[in-house]
Chains A and B, each alone.
Chain A
Amino acid sequence: MLRALKTLQALARELGYPGILPTDASGWQRPEVRDEWARSEALALLADGTPEALLGLSDSIAGNTTHYSAEAWLLAACDLGYPCNMPVAYTRGWCVQYGMGCDTSGRLEFTRQLSTPRQWRHAQAQRDEILAHLRNGRIDALMRPADGAPGGGG
Chain B
Amino acid sequence: MKRWLAGAMFAFGVLAAAGWLLLRQGRHETWPASGTAEAAAEATSSSPARQVAAATSASQPDDGAIAPRMSAEVRDAVPAGIRERSAARARLSAAWACLDARDLDPGAPTEIWSTLTPEHQRRAEQDYAQVIAWAEQNCRDLPPELLEKDGRLSLPDLLALASTAPDDPHWQLAALVRERKQTHDPASVDGVRVALEALLRSALVAPAAEEMQLIGALVSTQGPPDALGQGSGAHWDVRRMVWALAACDLGADCGPRSPVLVQLCLQSLLCGYPNLESAVIDGVWPQGMSATLQEERRRLVQRLRHTGGVGVFDPVQQPPGGG
Which residues of chain B (1-48) have a CB below 8 Å from chain A? 10, 13-14, 16-17, 20-21, 23-24
Cα–Cα distance between A39 and B95 once the two chains are bound (Å): 38
B58 within 8 A of A: no
Contact indicator A90/B10 (Cβ below 8 Å)? yes
A41 within 8 A of B: no
A151 within 8 A of B: yes
Contact indicator A59/B115 (Cβ below 8 Å)? no
Question: Out of A60, A90, A120, A125, which one reaches B287, CB within 8 Å?
Answer: A120
Question: Out of A90, A114, A120, A125, which one reaches B13, CB within 8 Å?
Answer: A90
Considering the complex, give the chain B residue whose CB is closest to the CB of A107.
Answer: B17
A94 within 8 A of B: yes
Chain A 104-131 per-residue mask, 1 if CB under 8 angstroms from chain B, else 0: 0000001011111111111011000000
Which residues of chain B (247-292) have a CB below 8 Å from chain A? 270, 281-289, 292
Hey, which chain B residues are within 8 Å of A58, CB to CB?
Answer: 20
Chain A: interface secondary structure? Answer: helix
Hey, which chain A residues are within 8 Å of B23, CB to CB?
Answer: 64, 70
| Residues A89 and B24 in contact in the complex (CB < 8 Å), given A114-B288, A153-B111 | no
Contact indicator A151/B112 (Cβ below 8 Å)? no
B71 within 8 A of A: no
Question: Out of A69, A70, A89, A122, which one reaches B115, CB within 8 Å?
Answer: A122
Cα–Cα distance between A150 and B110 once the two chains are bound (Å): 7
B109 within 8 A of A: yes
Cα–Cα distance between A153 and B110 once the two chains are bound (Å): 8
Interface centre among B16, B23, B111 (most CB of A within 10 A): B111
Contact indicator B20/A59 (Cβ below 8 Å)? yes
Question: Out of B10, B14, B24, B282, which one reaches A118, CB within 8 Å?
Answer: B282
Chain B 109-126 per-residue mask, 1 if CB under 8 angstroms from chain A, else 0: 111101100000000000
Number of A-B contacts (CB under 8 A): 79
Contact indicator A116/B287 (Cβ below 8 Å)? yes
B107 within 8 A of A: yes
Question: Out of B16, B111, B284, which one reaches A151, CB within 8 Å?
Answer: B111
Cα–Cα distance between A151 and B107 once the two chains are bound (Å): 12
Question: Out of B10, B110, B281, which one reaches A117, CB within 8 Å?
Answer: B281
A154 within 8 A of B: yes
Hey, which chain A residues are within 8 Å of B288, CB to CB?
Answer: 100-101, 110, 112-114
| Residues A113 and B110 in contact in the complex (CB < 8 Å), given A90-B14, A122-B115 | no
Contact indicator A151/B115 (Cβ below 8 Å)? no
Contact indicator B115/A153 (Cβ below 8 Å)? yes
Cα–Cα distance between A100 and B293 once the two chains are bound (Å): 12
Interface centre among A69, A124, A125, A153 (most CB of B within 10 A): A153
Contact indicator B282/A116 (Cβ below 8 Å)? yes
Contact indicator A153/B287 (Cβ below 8 Å)? no
Considering the complex, give the chain B residue whose CB is closest to the CB of A100.
Answer: B288
The minimal Cβ–Cβ distance linking A83 to chain B, given in whole angstroms, is 15
Hey, which chain B residues are within 8 Å of A112, CB to CB?
Answer: 287-288
Cα–Cα distance between A70 and B115 once the two chains are bound (Å): 18
Cα–Cα distance between A114 and B19 once the two chains are bound (Å): 13
Hey, which chain B residues are within 8 Å of A70, CB to CB?
Answer: 20, 23-24
Hey, which chain B residues are within 8 Å of A16, CB to CB?
Answer: none
The minimal Cβ–Cβ distance linking B163 to chain A, given in whole angstroms, is 33
The minimal Cβ–Cβ distance linking A128 to chain B, given in whole angstroms, is 11
Contact indicator B20/A119 (Cβ below 8 Å)? no
The minimal Cβ–Cβ distance linking A36 to chain B, given in whole angstroms, is 19
22 example contacts (A-B, Cβ-Cβ < 8 A) are as follows A59-B16, A59-B20, A60-B16, A70-B20, A89-B13, A90-B13, A90-B14, A100-B288, A100-B289, A101-B288, A110-B288, A112-B288, A113-B289, A114-B288, A115-B24, A116-B285, A118-B115, A122-B114, A124-B115, A150-B109, A150-B111, A154-B114
With A100-B288, A122-B111 given, name 19 new contacts (CB 8 A): A59-B20, A60-B16, A88-B13, A112-B287, A113-B288, A116-B282, A116-B285, A118-B112, A119-B24, A119-B283, A121-B115, A122-B112, A150-B109, A150-B111, A153-B110, A153-B111, A153-B112, A153-B115, A154-B111
Chain B residues within 8 Å of A, Cβ to Cβ: 10, 13-14, 16-17, 20-21, 23-24, 107, 109-112, 114-115, 270, 281-289, 292
Top 3 A-B pairs, shortest CB-CB distance = A113-B288, A121-B115, A153-B114
